[in-house]
Amino acid sequence: MDWFGRAKIAFFHAPSPLTLQKKDGTTTDLLKMAEKSTPSCQLNPFLFNGDLQTMWTAVAKNAPPIHYRRKIFEAEDQAYRGTFAVDFVVDTHDDVDESLPPRTAYFPEDALAQIGSDDSKPMLIVLHGLSGGSHEVYLRHAIEPLVTNGGGWEALVVNARGCANSKVTSGIFFNARATWDLRQVVKWARETFPNRPLFGLGFSLGANILTNYVGEEGLDCPLKAAISVGNPFNLDISNSALKRGFLGKQVYQRVMGSNMKRFINDHKEQIKLYTTLDLAEIQRVTYLYELDRAVQTKIWGYPTEGAYYRDSSSADAVLGIKIPFLAIAALDDPIAVEEAIPYGELMINPNTVLLTTSLGGHLSWFEFGGGRWHARPICNFLRNMVSDINLDAIKPEANVNEKDNQSTTHRFPLSHFNPAARKLHTRPE
């Protein structure tokens, strides 16, 4: 047990981390930036393991009162037809819309028409966890120092389809590899705010999606840097670990399954209209993996939920990352378990650094007094990247696998491994 809530911190990285040019003309590297940004981790000593930390999230509901304005996007790619909601952090407002989460209202038409800007403020694009949304407590704790009281940042949250009281308008739901909506928003942000450096932040399932996106984009990724928090990485491994233990199956799998059943029930009429899902079958299941079997396999055509988990996992995508990337994980996380962390992939790619804490649970990291530790390394890292680093001079290095493939001193490997390849192929109907 870590003494009185004092968590151990460790960094895992490539032998030669990505070199970063500082604004003063000197150089540093990605590991030093991560170390500089990470404070000591002193958590609530009464929440002394991952289960207590994680379960406390059901009690600790206090969070900064972030206000949002919502914009509805229509999918540009007909393979992923439908709409999705994006919530922009805005100044405090008194508008109340009972159909939306607290402190959230739609943009007035005139404001929406003038949303573009040529300012150079950094902008953060955020993805939430399973069945969550922009209202999530862990998310608001993380972004509040950046966006309030002169923090100087702009931020938006890409809500998964049907989440955060958004409407389901097609048979295309979110899933663990649903990079298409994020890709559209990043492209839109690049065009709408041409001078803003863009950054990514993902939590849990959203971290898995963000990692997949960054790996798929490779050298073409428009983001300057990204942070993954509580990423399950290998979903098949995480699922197996959850099913092994009593708490994993009877608490976490059951609660996540109940949340997804609630999601289905909230959109029952639209689901009847746009899909052929068996709603009676869905009502009979209990656990998350059963929901994935009844929903994700039917919508996307996977033969089993295991095939869905393996195809959606972001572990291999780590090898395709070509921008500065920080992954934050608690080793006692009972949901995004340690055995699912792709240590080898993160330690072979010079563009990635893994930061681990021995305590923290799943997206918890509760400090004594109610603070959340994860907000500090997230905000510090992002601020330091903007204040210290010449972002235009970042030149990501090829990973070791690519360097080996370019070697002329031997004949191996015989083929090229594509870390962003996927087995599922979608097409417009």
Q: What is the 3-state secondary structure (H, E, C) of 342-380?
A: CHHHHHHCCCEEEEEECCCCCCCCECCCCCECCHHHHHH
Query: Do the beta carbons of residue 161 and residue 84 sit within 8 Å?
Result: yes
Rounded to 5 degrees, what are φ and ψ at 408? -105, 10
- Rounded CA-CA distance 140/135 in Å is 7
Catalytic residue from among 134, 362, 364, 374: 362
* φ/ψ bin of 146: left (φ > 0), alpha (ψ from -120 to 50), beta (otherwise): alpha
Using CB atoms within 10 Å of the CB of residue 218, give its burial: 0 to 12 exposed, 13 to 18 middle, 19+ buried: middle
Active-site annotation holds for 204: yes
The token pair that represents 350 in the structure block: 């010079």
Cβ count near 9 (within 10 Å): 15
Active-site annotation holds for 333: yes
* Burial letters 25-46, b for 16+ CB under 10 A, else e: eeebbbbebbeebbeebbbbee
The token pair that represents 314 in the structure block: 């972001």
The Cα angle at residue 67 between residues 366 and 101, in degrees rounded to 5? 85
- Rounded CA-CA distance 418/111 in Å is 43
Sign of the Cα torsion 381, 383, 389, 390 reads positive
Query: Do the beta carbons of residue 29 and residue 17 sit within 8 Å?
Result: yes
Catalytic residue from among 204, 228, 238, 313: 204
- Rounded CA-CA distance 139/410 in Å is 48
Query: Do the beta carbons of residue 19 and residue 340 sit within 8 Å?
Result: no
What residues are paired with 325 via a beta bridge?
226, 352
Catalytic residue from among 51, 236, 332, 333: 333
Helix (H, G, I), strand (E, B) or coil at 397: coil
Q: What residues have CB less than 8 Å from 353, skipping those under 6 apart?
A: 11, 12, 13, 17, 30, 31, 34, 325, 326, 327, 346
- Rounded CA-CA distance 262/131 in Å is 9
Active site residues: 204, 333, 362
